Structure 1
């Protein structure tokens, strides 16, 4: 019996030791120049330049959406009228008429594009390459700030 509990104690001590040593491994804090063999953050770097620019915003074209919604509504309304072949005819007429009305309404609700303020940020990445990000939200960074690029937006790090 004593042999079994002794083996259990050695195994438990070994497992606790391995767990403790595993938790001791630390990751280096990386800022600045790359070190050979260490890749660092692939999308991190130092801001070189920030400038406000104006970009052309795309307008909305609701005509296609209006056509589809109008056609569906017209088809449903047309299918409730008539019997037999008359039902099919009224459904087709409803689809065509609803599509035309929906297109006209959608065209009236479309908005033209215009210019909006945006920010263009030039970043020297940790790997030495340069990246330029243009984004509408103000990143709130200045030259010399350390940043990360995520989802095509710049964030302070």
Structure 2
């Protein structure tokens, strides 16, 4: 029976790794050159301006139930392999709680993104700041940029 429990523990850790990689694949692009399927074939308002400043920022990761549930499942399975009958039940509960907390933290960390805050002086003299993912575009203060707006989405491009 111990062989079965240790085998299940390794499976649990394997599932955790799969969940982490799946969460990384779910991270959506939030850069100036990334569009969702819903944004295709929509008209956008275009404005022009001069880039006043570029500041690196960190865009926090997602906080969905996926990481928590996956972590709780893996932690519960791993925790159930500890102790005898009663110890197994307690281990499962403690493992599920600890796994849920760890899973949520892992999801947020894996989906966290480097971003840039771009402050633009528009042609009408107004200022606009936009935060978007840093996709290596290397914006420089003083360069002319385009601002694209579509409902709640705003992006800065060259």
What is the TM-score normalised by the length of structure 2?
0.37
Q: Whose helix proportion is higher, 1 or 2? A: 2
